[in-house]
């Protein structure tokens, strides 16, 4: 039976907790359910660290929570075309931790939720047989959960990756490594005394030879050796140009499962932050929430098509990219990248990747 003024949120990640906090603050009784045994996201991936461009002040104002203590300005970021290094601009980019540790963004949001009176039920996943009977005010924030995608009919693609993580005293630093052995990239970030390293592809298995190439690069170029590599896989809602949806099966989508992410690089933090607020708004003002969701995701289809039709045509030729970068030199290459980022941010709607802000 639906209890008036009660809202169930499935998912105790970034977006789910922001939705819960905002609704509790408005006087709703809010219960957050999660399949894990505690907050902090999937134990398959977390603890993890991530780098995201973000309009930190505007985003904090929009979601109603000061998140500045969980985001740390980047000291340096590098792009590698094979071994060729191009330093990237760091202005407006932050490192953030996902975990249940006190230093994580999740812990900050969890504390706010408890203070607002939100209740949590852990070890309680979304079940397919209950989807059709849920209240229309139910919020689904199940992140990268392929089972939830299947229940709700969310189109998705599979991703595959080698992952390593551990402790490190290295300051806030990250790299992206492009190589023909993967469809996406190798990525590492350091934050809060830990690191997270991922070599991944969309729609293609990442074999042991690809990992060997990546490890060889780390050893020769970066003088780094890492053990404990795990092979993982999952799903991401980047299958079709119209993936972003605020509503599916009469339920409210929130965070990654809503498709509110950058389809080019896979940035999802900023989309998770703002759609947490938007999904809470959908409980009280559906029309306004749809307007906000469309504003934040309005360029998804265009960027999606660019990646499929242009970028994926270039990706198998990292050797040509490297050759061109060597001819141009690091400074000229950097200036071209900065201009590309500037234009990309200008046309991006998700706050953080774009200067649009959250107003």
For residue 141, give the CATH number of its domain. Answer: 3.50.50.60
**Assigned token pair, 119:** 């209740």
Residues 95, 191: contact at Cβ < 8 Å? yes
Residue 359 lies in a domain: no
Residue 159 lies in a domain: yes
Residue 42 lies in a domain: yes
Residue 355 lies in a domain: no
Residue 226 lies in a domain: yes
**Assigned token pair, 30:** 């809010």
Output the pTM of the full model. Answer: 0.93
Question: What domain range includes position 181?
Answer: 6-347
Q: Cα–Cα distance between 65 and 210 in angstroms, integer?
A: 41
Q: Assign 206 to helix, strand or coil.
A: coil
Residue 354 lies in a domain: no
- Mean pLDDT per block of 10 residues along the chain (359 residues) reads 73 97 97 94 88 89 95 96 93 93 97 98 96 96 93 96 95 96 97 97 97 98 95 94 96 96 88 96 97 90 90 91 87 76 60 44
Helix or strand (DSSP H, E) at 147:
helix 146-152
Domains of the chain: total: 1
**Assigned token pair, 155:** 């189109």
CA separation (Å) from 77 to 73, 216, 324, 355?
Answer: 11, 20, 20, 20
Residue 357 lies in a domain: no
pLDDT at 346: 60
pLDDT at 262: 86
Residue 356 lies in a domain: no
């Amino acid at each position: 039976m639906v209890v008036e003024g009660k809202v169930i949120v499935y998912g105790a990640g970034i977006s789910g907790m922001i939705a819960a906090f905002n609704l509790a603050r408005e006087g709703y009784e809010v219960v957050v359910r999660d399949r894990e045994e505690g907050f902090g996201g999937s134990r398959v991936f977390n603890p993890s660290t991530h780098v995201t461009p973000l309009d930190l002040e505007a985003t904090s104002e929009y979601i109603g929570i000061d998140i500045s203590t969980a985001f740390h300005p980047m000291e340096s970021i590098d792009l590698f075309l094979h071994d060729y290094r191009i330093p990237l601009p760091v202005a407006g980019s932050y490192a953030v931790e996902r975990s249940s540790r006190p230093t994580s963004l999740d812990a900050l949001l969890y504390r706010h939720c408890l203070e607002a009176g939100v209740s949590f039920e852990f070890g309680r996943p979304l079940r397919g047989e209950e989807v059709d009977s849920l209240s229309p005010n139910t919020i689904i924030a199940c992140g990268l959960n392929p089972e939830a995608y299947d229940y709700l009919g969310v189109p998705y693609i599979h991703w595959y990756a080698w992952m390593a993580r551990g402790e490190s005293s290295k300051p806030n630093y990250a790299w992206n490594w492009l190589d023909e052995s993967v469809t996406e990239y190798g990525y590492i970030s350091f934050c809060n005394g830990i690191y997270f390293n991922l070599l991944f592809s969309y729609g293609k298995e990442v074999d042991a030879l690809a990992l060997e190439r990546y490890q060889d690069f780390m050893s020769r170029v970066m003088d780094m050796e890492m053990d404990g590599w795990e092979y993982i896989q999952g799903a991401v809602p980047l299958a079709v140009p119209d993936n972003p949806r605020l509503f599916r099966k009469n339920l409210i989508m929130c965070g990654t499962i809503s498709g509110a992410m950058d389809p080019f690089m896979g940035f999802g933090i900023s989309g998770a932050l703002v759609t947490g607020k938007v999904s809470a708004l959908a409980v009280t003002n559906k029309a306004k929430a749809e307007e906000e969701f469309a504003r934040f995701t309005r360029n998804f289809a265009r960027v999606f098509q660019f990646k499929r039709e242009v970028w994926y045509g270039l990706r198998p030729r990292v050797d040509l990219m490297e050759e061109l970068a060597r001819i141009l030199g690091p400074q000229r290459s950097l200036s071209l990248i900065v201009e590309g980022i500037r234009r990309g941010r200008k046309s991006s709607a998700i706050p953080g990747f774009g200067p649009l802000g959250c107003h």
